[in-house]
Amino acid sequence: MKTYQNYIAGTWQLSSSGETCDSTDPATGHLVARTQSSTKDDVERAVAAARSAFHATDWAMNSHARSRALAAWANAIESKQENLAHLLSHENGKPIREARAEIASAVDALRYNSVMARNVCGRTFQPSRDAYGFLMREPVGVVGVITPWNWPVLLLLRDLAPCLAAGNAAIIKPAERTGAVTAALVELAADLGLFPPGILQLVTGKGSIVGAALVDHPDVDMIAFTGSTEIGQELMAKASRYVKKVALELGGKSPNILFADCDLERSVSTACRSVFMTSGQICMAGSRLLVEASVYEQALGLAKSYAESLRVGMPLDESTDMGPVISETQLKAILAFIEEGRRRGRVIAGGRRLSQPPYHCGHFIEPTVIADVPVDCSVVQEEIFGPVLVVEKFESEEEAIRLANATRYGLVAGIWTKDLDRAFRVARDLQAGTVWLNGYNRNYAEAESGGYKMSGLGRSRGIEGLYEFTELKHIHLTLDV
């Protein structure tokens, strides 16, 4: 059991509070590690160091140095993939196979942005014979990167890699529950000696203290946040005090729309996999399955069979399909949603807590499928953040679109049909930042993602994800001709 420290101004430091946060295994309740319970004073030191490093070093102007540092960090993480995957499984509860995949995706994000560091490009134009315009991309400055516990490695590096590639100084504030794996990543970066002191920093602790201090600090130029819609709304309101730039990826209640002509077995299994991975604790979970009426009962049977075939078990067991949810509080919230679904519809699979050995010390719940609930039911409208699939019926293409758009969220969606004309018609009318056709949850470092409506603001990944961490400056030259 290790106690991780903050990383500020190029040195590892204890919190000024002298206190630590415990990270516990959601499968067993055992202590995994300790991290620092930081204070506003710790944030002040980190911000001062970041501001100094941003102005005093050549990090913002040296794209070759940025590229080398990010590429070397990717290699270092890859070399420790198995150790990091085990720590992630212990701390988060996700199956080890999924943890390995998360580490690999994070490495890919770093490698992509190591190349993009040398491609932060503006453009020029000539409005008249005596005038030239230069549009320059410049780093924002000091960025607070606030990350969640559900995919703590990938979602950190998805934002942090382009932030650093663009030339910014970054202060990481991880979720309390996954501060250890985040600190382990930063240790690998620090050991490289390629990041100038103050450019990459870590301050762990409570969101109400550390996160709030970053948002409220006048010398933090931008906040990149991944988390719940409710916290995102609060953060955005506080950031408005300084008209601070924000990038937000928030909640989702994402539909998979199955038309009768689709490959039903493949579409149902893919949709189920998308909602039961990470025990449903993923913003892109395909938590709603909208099925054309003529194949509705058949799809219900397939979903029930899939859910009941999954092996719920200990995260480090290679045969485990689904681990625990993160906490007792989360488990109780999920069970409350299930009871509402039971009251207003049918629970056709799962729906119960697993409490017999070996589950008795952890937060385990059965993969759950709910059917025949009205569209205004909370299990349709709210992000459950648990292994709960809601199956709904539609009669027409127009009804499918209306139902899919009937929540406050708009993160992602899937459409399943052999009719590509219909697929593109429906995709055009869906209010979602990403729409997959005959597939789901296919994400790439080079392809932008982000939300409509209350699922977020701005884009991550790709060129636009890089440019989120820049300011655009127009420099105009008038010639004496």
Q: Given the residues 102, 249, 366, 448, select the one marked as catalytic.
A: 249
Which pairing describes strands 131-139 and 470-478: parallel, antiparallel, or unpaired? antiparallel
Angle made by CA atoms 343, 393, 299, in degrees to the nearest 5 = 95
* Cα–Cα distances in angstroms (integers) from residue 436 to residues 9, 283, 424, 441, in the given order: 43, 15, 10, 8
Tell me whether the omega of the peptide bond preceding residue 315 falls within 30 degrees of 0, making it cis.
Answer: no
* Cα–Cα distances in angstroms (integers) from residue 173 to residues 135, 170, 402, in the given order: 32, 10, 38
Q: In a 3-state reduction of DSSP, which class is residue 80?
A: coil
**Is residue 249 annotated as a catalytic residue, yes or no?**
yes
* Nearest residue to 148 (alpha-carbon basis) of 195, 222, 94: 94
Determine contact, residues 250/455, Cβ cutoff 8 Å. Answer: yes
Distance CA 119, CA 470 (A): 13
* Nearest residue to 238 (alpha-carbon basis) of 164, 307, 144: 144
Distance CA 77, CA 186 (A): 10
Catalytically active residues, by annotation: 249
